[in-house]
Every structure is written in structure tokens, then in C-alpha cells.
Structure 1
Amino acid sequence: MERLDGSAPVPAPLRGGIVALGNFDGFHAGHQAVVARAVARARDAGRPAIVATFDPHPRRFFRPDTPPFRLTSLDQRERLFAAAGADAMLVFGFDAALAGLSAERFALDRLVALIGAGGVVTGTDFTFGRGRDGDVATLKALGEAHGFVAETVAPVGDGQAVVSSSRIRDLLRSGEPRAAAALLTRPFAVEGVVEHGAKLGRTLGYPTANLTLGSYLRPAYGIYAATGRLADGRVLNGAASLGIRPTIEGAPIELLETYFLDFSGDLYGQRIEVALIEYLRPEVKFDSLEALTVQMAEDCRRARQVLGAPGKA
């Protein structure tokens, strides 16, 4: 799996590939259908399969004050695209130059000149070009004129509505990670480097691995049953606190703090990924650290129960 710069010509072995084109934030079931079609076309034609995405998200470029909303980082998307069978991830840096390209210039300069695309696959709602002046019909016509075959994949539904990143974000903000996971086909997860904190959890007997949320969406503040994937591949069960720790004086910074059950070790400086499995309760301001400690024990008991973790539930 290669990661390619969308402003430079792709390497010769990858030219002529079939390109799945979209934002693909979250890489949910609908996105997976688009990429699966591109991979199938590529394999049938003996061509490479490339997934092209944008970073930053166009919404962030046009509305920089928008609150954080990302469901996946580039690193997470790269792993997900590789698991879906793609040979490369191509990242279009979304800047003023890209935003200023007309639909035709984007097709000619990026898809034809830089990639040499043999085909392009998108969702039916895909738009592109300055002022979003291009849609899937535009892309199909440009492909016919310039030597690539454009194809669309119909939206994927779950029996209630179309699967979308917006629905997933709403579910996470509402404290429904299991429902969000059903649309994502996996739990929502935050990846980052474990940072040093005030070490209060260690003092209370619950040392935590602390991650800042950065550009990730803020799910409902509260306590979650969670799992963690360590750099060495181990997966641990845990209880995670997401929020601003209202019981702690002077601690308004948003953090994801995870206590891993039955684990002892130093994780500082390591890159881990924490997946939110089930929402246990909202964030609460306790009258004392003693009351907080009693509740933390109950949270861990419930997390064990939810995750089917061995030990005292």
C-alpha cells in the first residue's frame, strides 16, 4: 500500500489505475461499496486500484471555524483502504489552488495528467470543481471525452435511511456508539500518541492512557466501555472517560482517558487506538475524589460486563 501526493504524477506502475474518488471520512458501508467496485474493476482489468481522498476535508477549508468533525485520520483511512484491497491511497491536498480548479481542469490536470486514470468510481452524490460546478454527469462526460470510464455506485441503506457520515456523527453525539458502529461496520476509534497528564488516575488506582482529540468529532461526553489497540497489536479492554473532567479543578481540556483493565505497563509516547463500544453514563461532577473513585470502580465493573472481560464484574 502506497500513500501518494495528489499534486505529483503517480509512479509509472500505478498509472492507468481505477480510482475510487471521494472524501471517504469514516469509510462507512456506503464508502466501502464505492471502493469495492473500484477494486473489482481494477482486478478485472488487470489495473491498480487507487483510492483518492482529500485532506483537509473541503468543509474545513471553506469553513475553518467549523467544530471538529472528522471520523477518521489519514492513517486510519490508509489502513482501511488497504484492507479493502486498494493498492494505493492518493491524497489531494485541499487548498486554494485545488478549490479554484473548474470541474474540467480538475479532471484534466489531476485525473488525466497526474494519474492517467483508466476509470473513476464515485457515489451518486459526488460533486467537484470550483463552486461544485461538476457532478457525476459532468464526470461521465469528461471521461468520455478524455479516455476514462466514470461509474457511480448507488447509496447503501440500512432499512431506515441512507448510510452517511452525517448520520454517524449524529449518533455519536447522541451517545449511540453501537448504532454508529453498525453503519461504520466497526466501532468509532480515536488514534493518537499517549500523553503525560496530571497522573491523578494513577493516584486513585486507575492509571489512564490520555489522548487529545485533535480534529476528531466530539462524541457525547461521558464514560464508555472501550477497547484499545496497542502499537504491538495487542487489544485490551477498558473503561474510557471522554470530556473535560468536571470534578477536577482547572481541567477544562478535552481528553479521552482510558483505563485498561488488567494491564500494567508504560504507554507514554506510544501510538494507540481507542474504540468506543458502549456509552455507560454521562459526565458528572462529583462532590469529592472519594465519590469519584467509587463510581470509577462501578464503571469498570460495567465495562467488564459489556465487553465480556474476565475478572470481577
Structure 2
Amino acid sequence: MKLVRHIPLNSVDANDCVMTIGNFDGVHKGHHAVLESVVKEAKSLGLPAVVMAFEPQPLEYFQKDKAPARLSTAREKIQLLSDAGMECVYLFRFGQRLANMPAEEFVEILYARLKVKHLIVGDDFCFGKGRTGNFQLLQKEALEHGFTVRNTAPIKVSSERVSSTLIRQSLAAGNFSQTEQYLGRAYTMSGRVGHGDKRGREIGFPTANIRVKNRKSPLKGVFVVTMADEMGARFNGVANVGTRPTVDASTKVLLEVHLFDFEGDLYQQRVHITFLKKLRDELKFSGLDELKKQINEDCKQAKLFLTNT
């Protein structure tokens, strides 16, 4: 798959394509309905299947620290889009220029620069300054400038419209089976293992410390997990996602994973952590002895869950 990034939107020069546009945060079932349509149409027309996404996501530009937590990093998103059959991803920087771009100018870039021959969007797709561009405008512009456009119906699971917001709510509630229905896969976070402060090792529970820089987590608490390393080997364990209030009350959200029956070195490996069950919220204990006792109990509960699944 081809990745195009770090170039101005109005300077790109491309070949004919079938395209979709969006945030694609989490690349959930609703997104897959759009992506499958793009792949099918691209094959029919003999053109590449292309997706346009933005970094940062628009809400992160407008709301800064108040923006909702991401379901996927840019790296994870790109991989998921590739897995879905996209042949090219345009990842454009969302800044003041794009935020203030009139809807008509944005459409002109689609047909004049990106050579879009067929555009497929979600039914709620809006674009341009003040979100003034909509499907009706796209239809009008398509007739005038020689491309075609259609939208897709929303995907519902148990009468709920699948969306990134719904998935964040499901994750916050610790409902991983429901989250899996919305995503079409188990929820996973990935990152590179870095060096920690060895506090876990000191109390008998060494951890793999996963870097989650520049990422606000949709999860907080203690969880049953599996971890896959770069070779594809999988290990069971428990994970803490939070600020470690008993140890040092960090202002950064940390992801720490204690693996069962594991001896080895994971440093600098990119690993994938799949969340299976929430055990509890993160708590502040009176000291390390009380924390150690609780982690022992967490491990017992996790092993019991894994034995019964």
C-alpha cells in the first residue's frame, strides 16, 4: 500500500481513483461498509482504491486537549486501512488552511488534483469551513465536473448506529464483547516497549511498559489481556492503564503489562495488547504492600477468567 503524507493538499497531483474521505478512527464496522464499497467500485472501474484521512483529526485541531480519546493511532489506522484493501492512503495535515477552506474549494481539489472519478462517503459526511459541505453539494459538483458520488447507509448493531463515540462509551463501560461487535475484532492497542522505573519488578510483578506518547486512552483501569510480540508469540497477563496513583501519581497515562510465566526481553519490540475483560478501576492504595496484595488478586482473577474462556 502507498502512503502519501506531509504534502499540502492543494499541491498533490494524482491519477484517476475511487476515493473515500473521513477520520476512520478505530476503522469499525461502519467504516468497513464504506471501504468495502470503495474496493468493489475500484475493481469494477479498474482504478485504485484510495482513502483520504487527516492528522491531527479535526476535533483534535479544534478542541485540543478536550478532544475525545482516539481508538487508534495514525500508525494503527494506516495498517487497518491497508488490511481493508486500500491501495493508497493520503494523510493530510489538518491545520488552519484546511479548517478555513470553503467547501467548494475542497471539492475542486478532489476532481482537479486528486482526479477522483467516483467518491463514496458515509451518510453523515460534512466538510469545508463550518462543515457547510454535505452530500447534496457533492452531488451538484459531481454533475458539473464529471465525477460520480454516492453515500452509504449507517451500520447498526442491536439497533445502535455504530460510531467511534459509541465504541468509546462501550470501552469506558468495560463491555469488550459489545466493543468487538462494533469493531468486528477485539480491541487492541499497540506500541513499543520501553524502559520503566522497575517499580513492578521490585514488588515481584515485572511489567512491559508500552509507550503511549501523544495518546489519550479510551481505557482506564486494570484488565485481562493477551500480548503479541513481533514474532507473533502470544502471552497472557494483566494490564494497568492509568496514572499509578499509589506509586507516583503521574500526569501521563501509562500502559503497563505483567505477563504470566514469561521470561525474556521485549525492549524495543512493537507489541499488540488485546483487552479481554475489565477487572477493576485503578485505585490508590495506602502503600506498596497493599498494592502487591491487590495485584496478586488481580492475577488470580485473570487466570480464572482465561481458564474458563
Verify same fold: TM over 0.5.
yes
Residue identity opposite 1:144 in structure 2: L
> Does 2:234 align with 1:231?
no
For residues 221-277 of structure 1, the C-alpha deviation after alignment (integer angstroms, 9 at most, x for no partner) is 211011222223323222101112222145453211111222222222222222222
Q: Which amino acid aligns with 1:260?
A: L
Q: Give the Cα–Cα distance (whole angstroms) in 2 for the partners of residues 207 and 140 of structure 1.
A: 58
Summarize the alignment of residues 138-149 of structure 1 with structure 2, pairs less than 5 Å apart.
Answer: 138-149=137-148
Give the secondary-structure state (helix, strand or coil) at the position aligned to 1:241.
Answer: strand
Contact 1:54/1:93, CA 8 A, preserved across alignment: yes
Report if aligned partners of 2:29, 2:184 keep a CA contact under 8 Å in 1.
yes
Deviation at 1:290, TM superposition (A): 2.6
Structure 1: 4+ residue segments shifted above 6 A? none
Counterpart residue number, 1:81: 81
**SS of 1:186 mapped into structure 2:** coil
Root-mean-square deviation (Å): 2.0
Q: CA deviation at 1:31?
A: 0.6
The residue aligned with 1:210 is 209
CA distance in 2, matches of 1:249, 1:265: 27
Query: Are residues 102 and 277 of structure 1, via their aligned partners in 2, closer, same or farther at CA, if it must alter by over 3 Å?
Result: same
Which residue is 2:220 aligned to? 221
The answer on whether the counterparts of 2:71 and 2:218 sit within 8 Å (CA) in structure 1 is: no
C-alpha deviations, 1:166-193, integer Å up to 9, x for none?
Answer: 1111122223233222211223322222
Q: Does residue 60 of structure 1 match 2:60? A: yes
Q: Which runs of 5+ in 2 are unaligned?
A: none
Partner in structure 2 of residue 9 of structure 1 = 12
Alignment of 1:123-272 (within 5 A): 123-272=122-271
Please name the residue that 2:19 is paired with.
19
Contact map agreement 1:174 1:220 (CA 8 A) in 2: no
Q: CA deviation at 1:58?
A: 0.5
CA–CA distance in structure 2, aligned partners of residues 49 and 252 of structure 1: 41
Aligned residues: 306
Write out aligned runs for 1:26-105 (5 A).
Answer: 26-105=26-105
Q: Separation in 1 of the partners of 2:234 and 2:82?
A: 20
2:296 matched to which residue of 1? Answer: 297
Q: What does 1:106-121 correspond to in 2, within 5 Å?
A: 106-109=106-109, 111-121=110-120
Amino acid at match of 1:24: F
Which AA in structure 1 matches 2:187?
F
Q: Which whole-Å CA distance do the structure 2 matches of 1:39 and 1:102 have between them?
A: 29
Compared CA separation, residues 309 and 237, structure 1 to 2 (3 A):
farther
Offset of 1:308 from its aligned partner? 4.2
Q: Which runs of 5+ in 1 are unaligned?
A: none
| Alignment check: 8 A CA contact 1:190 1:216 kept | no
Q: How many Å separate the matches in 2 of 1:287 and 1:142?
A: 64
Q: 1:73 to 1:253 in 2, by over 3 A?
A: closer
Q: TM-score, normalised by structure 1?
A: 0.91
Q: Which residue of 2 aligns with 1:280?
A: 279
Of 24-33 and 282-291, deviating more is 282-291
Q: Deviation per CA, 1:146-170, whole angstroms, max 9, x where unpaired?
A: 1211110100000231011111111
Does the CA-based 8 Å contact 1:9-1:114 persist in structure 2? yes
Could you report, residue by residue, the CA deviation over 1:275-313 in whole angstroms, capped at 9, with x for unpaired residues?
A: 222101112223332332232222223223333499xxx
Q: Name the CA shift for 1:72/1:249 in 2 (closer, same or farther; >3 Å).
A: closer
Question: Helix, strand or coil: the match of 2:201?
Answer: helix
